[in-house]
Amino acid sequence: MVARGGRRATACHPVADVQAPRVARPPLLLAGDAAGVTRPHTATGAVKALQDALCLERVLREGPDPATALERYADERTAAGARLVELGRRMGRALVEEVPDWPAMGQDEVDVWFRGVLAGTWHYLYEDPGKAAGPAVATTSAGPTASAASAVGRPEPDAGSEATVAG
C-alpha cells in the first residue's frame, strides 16, 4: 500500500512518553504537553491540558499566594502526569507488544481483557468519574484472564479535577 502511494519517502514517528520530574517551581510552571507527553493509546493530550489549566485556576484562587499555589499545582499535576505515563506504557504493552489472540476472543473476553488493562485507573473515555473501584482482574503476560469477568471500577479523579472530563 505504501509503495502504491504517490510519495516515495516514508516517515516514521517514534512513540514515546516523557514526564517532567516536577511540573512547577515558582515562578515557572509547565502545563499540557510541555509537562509530559503520553503515548497516543491514552487519548488524553487535550484533556490533560484542560485539567492542568483548571487545576492552576483552582490553586491560584485558593491561595494564599502564587508561590504556594504553584507548589500545590506541582504536587497534583506531577503525580497525575506520572499516572498517565504509566497508563500509556501499560496500554502500549497490551495493545502493541503483548497483543492477545483477537480472533479467538469474543466480545465478552475483549471487554474483560480491556478492563484488566485499565484496572486501577480512571480514564475519561470509559466510565463516569467517581465510580467505586471494583475487584481486580487477574492478568497474565497475554492480558487479563477471561475468568475474571467482573466489572472494574475506577478510583476518584485526581484532586482538583472535579470539574473536568478526565481524571
How far apart are the C-alpha atoms of 17 and 7, rounded to whole Å?
29
The contacts of residue 156 (CB under 8 Å, 6+ apart) are 122, 129, 130, 167
The string of pLDDT tens digits covering residues 53-111 is: 999 999 999 989 999 999 999 999 999 999 989 988 999 899 888 999 989 999 999 98
Does residue 98 contact residue 47 with C-beta atoms inside 8 Å?
A: no
For residue 167, the model assigns a pLDDT of 35
From residue 143, alpha-carbon distances to 78, 89, 147 in Å are 28, 14, 12
Does residue 165 contact residue 125 with C-beta atoms inside 8 Å?
A: no
> Across all residues in the chain, what is the average pLDDT?
75
Residue 147 has pLDDT above 70, yes or no: no
Residue 1 has pLDDT above 80, yes or no: no
Does residue 25 contact residue 74 with C-beta atoms inside 8 Å?
A: yes
For residue 2, the model assigns a pLDDT of 61
Residue 159 has pLDDT above 60, yes or no: no
